[in-house]
Amino acid sequence: MKETRRADAQRNLDALLEATKTVFARSGVNAPAKEITDLAGVGVGTLYRHFPQRSDLVIAVLGREIEACAESGPLLSAANPPAMALALWIQRYAELVATKVGLASALHAADGAHEALAQHVYQRVGPVLDTLLEAAAAEGIRTDVSARNVLHAVGLLCQPVPGEGPEYNRRLVDIFIDGLRTA
């Protein structure tokens, strides 16, 4: 039997998700829960009832973008040579990580609050990246680099750098992509 949500509970959930998108865009994924609940017009208990861990909330809000990034891999492969498809996909992933304030840091946080988020991202995009790396190996892309290596490197390269804007991070990712080529 499928569980149906009461209308008020669904409204609260919808308000939380909309408020979270707004707050994450303004303050990042580590914004205080109170900032989110105040904007949503609900109590902190409602937030934690729906999203017991911060990573659950981040996945709920960024899930579509993570899915779109994963789904872009086969599309890029169909339309481009393997090494180009890989480069374009890495740039797309970097854009996702770099444009979500605090996401790069959250993916590499040592605390358990974001562990489920990192696992979700790696489980969803890791196999896509593995496929792209394997295909690009025939075109001179290093074979000693794993999807996990690339995801970690890009996440670290997308960390905010004091005094620099996002174009700086894009340049670092471009340099990294160049470094994936052998000879």
- pLDDT number for residue 109: 60
| Residue-wise pLDDT tens digits, 60-83 | 888 888 899 999 999 999 999 999
pLDDT for position 1: 46
Is the predicted pLDDT of residue 36 greater than 90, yes or no?
Answer: yes
Mean pLDDT of the chain: 87
Helix-strand-coil percent breakdown of the chain, rounded to 5? 75, 0, 25
16-30, 78-92, 162-176: range with lowest mean pLDDT: 16-30
Domain extents in the chain = 1-52, 62-179
* Residues 6 or more apart in contact with residue 105 via CB below 8 angstroms: 30, 159
Across 165-182, average pLDDT:
92
Q: What is the CATH number of domain 1-52?
A: 1.10.10.60
Question: Which of 23-27, 29-33, 160-164 is the least confident region?
Answer: 23-27
Give the pTM.
0.77
Say whether pLDDT at 9 is over 70. Answer: yes
State residue 147's pLDDT score: 96
172 contacts: CB under 8 Å, gap ≥ 6: 157
Q: Hey, what CATH topology would domain 62-179 get? A: Tetracycline Repressor; domain 2 (1.10.357)
